[in-house]
Amino acid sequence: MNKFKHTLLLLFMAFAASAQTITEPVEYNDYFVNNQNKIGDELLKLIGMFDNLPEDKTIVNAQLNKVIAECDNAIAAVKSIKPIENEFNLRNASMDLFDFYKTTMSIDYPQLIDELYKPAPEMEKLNAVLLKVQDGEAIVDKKFQEAQKQFAIFHKIELEENELQEQFDGE
């Protein structure tokens, strides 16, 4: 029994040591934004493939899997960080956002890709999936932005426009 308690104590210490601690508000905010940007970078590569669809669908699916892997990495990163005082639910809002991305990439984007590879893609189906994704993202993104704004105001941080967002907006 003592060996079991000792093992549990070691596991707990290892887990506690693996949890990241960030105490500076700017670094805390940047942590979530950087994880979001990693997902965004891979997603932009995937979306870029839609304009000039490769003949081999496995190439597109491989890129989709990279996006999903980045979502998994971001979720694990958020789980590993300890919330700081007065964080206004920023950690949970980012977790919801990254979970949404993962679900969308796992369920909705495979449908889009399958439809794009049909000899005659049905635009109604494509538009329905895109609308569903846009509507869902608007909800979780708004929640994230509101938490981030409250956090920034409280901690007197000046938020900057994310350059990656400009790429998504086509600017």
Condensed to tens digits (0 to 9), the pLDDT of residues 37-68 reads 999 999 999 999 999 999 999 999 999 999 99
Which residues, including other chains, have CB under 8 Å from residue 12's CB and lie 6 or more apart?
none
**pLDDT at 72 > cutoff 60:** yes
DSSP H or E run through 129: helix 123-155
- Encode pLDDT of 77-97 as tens digits: 999 999 999 999 999 999 999
Residue carrying the six token digits 């991305």:
101
What are the φ and ψ backbone dihedral angles of 64, each rounded to 5 degrees? -60, -40
pLDDT at 14: 46
Q: Would you say residue 2 has pLDDT above 60?
A: no
Q: Domain-by-domain residue ranges, the chain?
A: 23-169
* Mean pLDDT for all residues in the chain: 89
What average pLDDT does this structure show over 97-111? 97
Whose tokens are 């508000």? That residue is 25
CB atoms within 10 A of CB 31: 18
Q: Give the integer Cα–Cα distance in Å for 39 and 140.
A: 15
